[in-house]
């Protein structure tokens, strides 16, 4: 009697295992072959209910070659035309974006340069539009009687360049740099001439725009006696040596 009960329990276990294997195989086969549901509407309805009755429509949009109208395709085979999409691309075929392959490079301007570069410039800078910043120094030299142009010297880091500018631009200078004075700082943009044909071949900068970057100022130079002490000492030493030399020479006679 006990043996038959054990056999019955084992049979039940084997039946349960067989049923589990059958369910697993059916699920795997159904996932791999969903097209088989078309022959069984009930199975298809059950699968859709398990998925929450979600819609299976898939939409694919394609842009047509003539106007860009979109076409929507559903899983049932229906075709719906939607409104043409707005044109969002900017045409690159316009005149403003055209590329001229034969256009030569334009190297007629450099802009930011230094006075030191122009003071030692070669032919590369000739006829270039440059921009420099420097201190107005020395004097304003008039071009001639009745002329409305003049020359102004700009100084920076030990180098000087002559700038040809109008009287109106020169009036912006409030101070010319010299001993005890800091000249007006000017920013000048214009054409640099290595050998100016209008001004006897000198190198100059014809100003087109002049702006003041800093006003000039005068420096007070107080008299400090201590600064003359080394000079006095050397003077006395030289006088002592001269007197000693003269006496030594008289003794040798």
* Predicted confidence (pLDDT) per residue in 155-181, tens digit: 999 999 999 999 999 999 999 999 889
Mean per-residue pLDDT, 22-41: 58
Same domain, 138 and 211: yes
- Residue pair 187/210 in contact (Cβ under 8 Å)? The answer is yes
Same domain, 115 and 212: yes
For the cut 70, the answer to whether the pLDDT of residue 130 exceeds it is: yes
The separation between the first and the last C-alpha atoms of the chain, rounded to the nearest angstrom, is 163
Is 84 within the bounds of a domain? Answer: no
Question: How many domains are contained in the chain?
Answer: 2
Is 30 within the bounds of a domain? Answer: yes
Higher pLDDT, 132 or 18: 132
Is 7 within the bounds of a domain? Answer: yes
| Confidence (pLDDT) at 68 | 41
Average pLDDT, the chain: 74
Is 54 within the bounds of a domain? Answer: no
Is 156 within the bounds of a domain? Answer: yes
- Residue pair 126/195 in contact (Cβ under 8 Å)? The answer is yes
- For the stretch 189-222, pLDDT in tens is 999 999 998 888 889 999 999 999 999 998 877 7
Q: Percentage of residues in the chain with pLDDT exceeding 90?
A: 34
| Confidence (pLDDT) at 184 | 95
Same domain, 130 and 208: yes
DSSP letter for 180, please. Answer: T
Same domain, 186 and 113: yes
Beta bridge partners of 72: 80
Q: What is the CATH number of the domain that holds 129?
A: 2.40.50.140
| Confidence (pLDDT) at 148 | 92
For the cut 60, the answer to whether the pLDDT of residue 16 exceeds it is: yes
| Confidence (pLDDT) at 216 | 92
- Residue pair 160/170 in contact (Cβ under 8 Å)? The answer is no
Is 223 within the bounds of a domain? Answer: no
| Confidence (pLDDT) at 110 | 61
Mean per-residue pLDDT, 116-141: 91
| Confidence (pLDDT) at 46 | 53
| Confidence (pLDDT) at 248 | 87
Same domain, 131 and 206: yes
Domain that includes residue 6, residue range = 2-45
Cα–Cα distance between 60 and 71 in angstroms, integer? 7
- For the stretch 58-108, pLDDT in tens is 443 444 444 443 333 444 444 444 444 444 444 444 455 566 565 555 555
Cα–Cα distance between 132 and 211 in angstroms, integer? 11
**pTM (predicted TM-score):** 0.47
| Confidence (pLDDT) at 108 | 55
Mean per-residue pLDDT, 23-35: 61
| Confidence (pLDDT) at 220 | 78
| Confidence (pLDDT) at 145 | 82
């Amino acid at each position: 009697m006990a043996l038959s009960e054990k056999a019955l329990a084992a049979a039940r276990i084997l039946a349960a295992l067989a049923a589990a294997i059958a369910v697993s195989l059916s699920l795997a086969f159904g996932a791999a072959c969903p097209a088989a549901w078309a022959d069984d509407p009930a199975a298809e309805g059950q699968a859709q209910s398990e998925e929450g009755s979600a819609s299976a429509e898939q939409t694919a949009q394609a842009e047509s070659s003539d106007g860009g109208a979109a076409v929507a395709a559903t899983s049932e085979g229906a075709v719906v035309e939607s409104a043409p999409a707005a044109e969002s691309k900017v045409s690159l075929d316009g005149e403003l974006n055209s590329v001229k392959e034969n256009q030569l490079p334009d190297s007629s301007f450099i802009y930011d340069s230094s006075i030191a570069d122009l003071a030692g410039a070669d032919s590369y800078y000739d006829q270039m539009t440059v921009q420099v910043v420097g201190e107005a120094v020395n004097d304003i030299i008039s071009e001639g009687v009745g002329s409305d142009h003049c020359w102004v010297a700009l100084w920076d880091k030990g180098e000087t360049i002559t700038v040809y500018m109008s009287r109106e631009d020169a009036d912006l200078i409030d101070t010319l740099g010299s001993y005890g004075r800091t000249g007006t700082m000017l920013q000048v943009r214009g054409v640099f001439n290595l050998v100016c044909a209008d001004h006897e071949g000198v190198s100059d900068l014809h100003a087109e725009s002049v702006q003041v970057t800093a006003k000039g100022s005068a420096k007070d130079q107080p008299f400090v006696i201590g600064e003359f002490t080394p000079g006095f000492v050397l003077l006395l030493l030289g006088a002592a040596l001269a007197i000693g030399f003269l006496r030594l020479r008289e003794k040798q006679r």
